[in-house]
A and B are shown apart, each in its own frame.
Chain A
Amino acid sequence: MQFYEKTLKQYNQYTADPKKKNYFEIALTLGLMIVLLLMIYPAVTYILNLNKEIQAGRVVKEGLSQKIQDLQNARNAFADVQTDLPLLQLALPIGSDVDKYVQKPLEDLASRHGLTLKSIQFADLPISQPATENVKLRDMDFTLSLTGGYTNLNDFLKDLEKFVRVTNVDSITLKGSGSDVTVTISAVTNFLGSPVIIPNQTSGGTTP
């Protein structure tokens, strides 16, 4: 009871003067607004976050449904071409497949056209089979030296061009000696291999 009387007395003191009363009311209003804002703030942020998550969930659901559909279509398309996979592997192999490439077309075509294969030199060639994931198109540069008749060499080049694994001939150097001609061919073929990692020049090494 004493507390109530004391508070009432204090309130009456504040409200006795109209100017004081106005200040008091404004202060109370501001205080109430601050309290209300502090109370409402967690709810507002929670609702906004929840709305955002619901929207994102809808987008993810739609995207995943579409992806499942696409994967099923891809599986069907893959089943259609599965029988042609060895052909694709021959045209653009995973890994350099250098042994098969030397055997066919190079040695095979050379013997078919009566040419002597003097030397083959490959530059920067990975022998090991890469992982099937994350493979990139890579070049396999090589230099080939052959001896034989000019027409035979011409036929060899024509057949090499027709072979399913594409070979780009960069340059041909001819050296004639009698009926036989020695030709040096610089060419490039492609394969799917691990991407070449260029070491960072700035890192590593020791500083004095």
Chain B
Amino acid sequence: MSKNLVPILTAFLIVLVMFIALQVINILNKAPIPEATQKQIEKLDPTLDQKVLQDIKSKAGS
């Protein structure tokens, strides 16, 4: 009985190891931050282009 059981258990073990490995790879490759949160933490540039403003001011003044 054991003689017949060994290949079955071996095959099952290989499939199980592959399944676990694939699950681990899937978890590691999953995007960590959801898209909505990603959008919320997008950087913004707080500096204003003062030169443009000065140009407009000088144009309005002339």
Contact A73 B53 (CB under 8 A): no
Contact residues, B1-51 vs A (CB, 8 A): 2-3, 5-6, 9-10, 12-13, 16-17, 20, 23-24, 27-28, 30, 32-33, 37, 40-41, 43-48
* Closest A residue to B28 using CB positions: A48
Chain A, interface SS category: helix
On chain B, the residues within 8 Å of A23 by CB distance are 2-3, 5-6
On chain B, the residues within 8 Å of A34 by CB distance are 9, 12-13, 16
Contact B59 A164 (CB under 8 A): yes
* Closest B residue to A20 using CB positions: B2
- In the assembled complex, the CB of B45 is this many whole angstroms from the nearest CB of chain A, namely 8
- Per CB-CB distance, the 6 closest pairs between chain A and chain B, nearest first, are A63-B41, A73-B46, A56-B32, A30-B9, A23-B2, A74-B46
Given A38-B16, A67-B41, A52 and B30 touching (CB < 8 A)? yes
Number of chain B interface residues as a range: 20 to 34
Given A27-B2, A45-B23, A60 and B16 touching (CB < 8 A)? no
Contact residues, A4-34 vs B (CB, 8 A): 14, 20, 23-24, 26-27, 30-31, 33-34
Contact B60 A45 (CB under 8 A): no
Identify the A interface with B (CB < 8 A). Answer: 14, 20, 23-24, 26-27, 30-31, 33-34, 37-38, 41, 44-45, 48-49, 52-53, 55-56, 59-60, 63-64, 66-67, 70-74, 77-78, 80-81, 84, 87-88, 90-91, 162-164
Contact B13 A81 (CB under 8 A): no
* Closest B residue to A21 using CB positions: B2
Contact A88 B56 (CB under 8 A): yes
Given A30-B10, A34-B12, A91 and B44 touching (CB < 8 A)? no
* Closest B residue to A55 using CB positions: B32
Contact A87 B46 (CB under 8 A): no
Select which of B5, B33, B62 is within 8 A of A59 by beta carbon. Answer: B33
Contact B27 A67 (CB under 8 A): no
Select which of A31, A41, A59, A164 is within 8 A of B9 by beta carbon. Answer: A31
* Closest B residue to A49 using CB positions: B27
9 A–B contacts, CB within 8 A, in A order: A27-B2, A30-B9, A45-B24, A60-B33, A60-B41, A67-B43, A80-B48, A84-B57, A162-B62
Known: A14-B2, A60-B41, A80-B48. 20 other contacts (CB 8 A): A23-B2, A23-B6, A24-B2, A30-B9, A30-B10, A34-B12, A37-B13, A37-B16, A37-B17, A45-B27, A52-B27, A52-B32, A66-B43, A67-B43, A70-B43, A73-B46, A73-B47, A74-B44, A91-B60, A164-B56
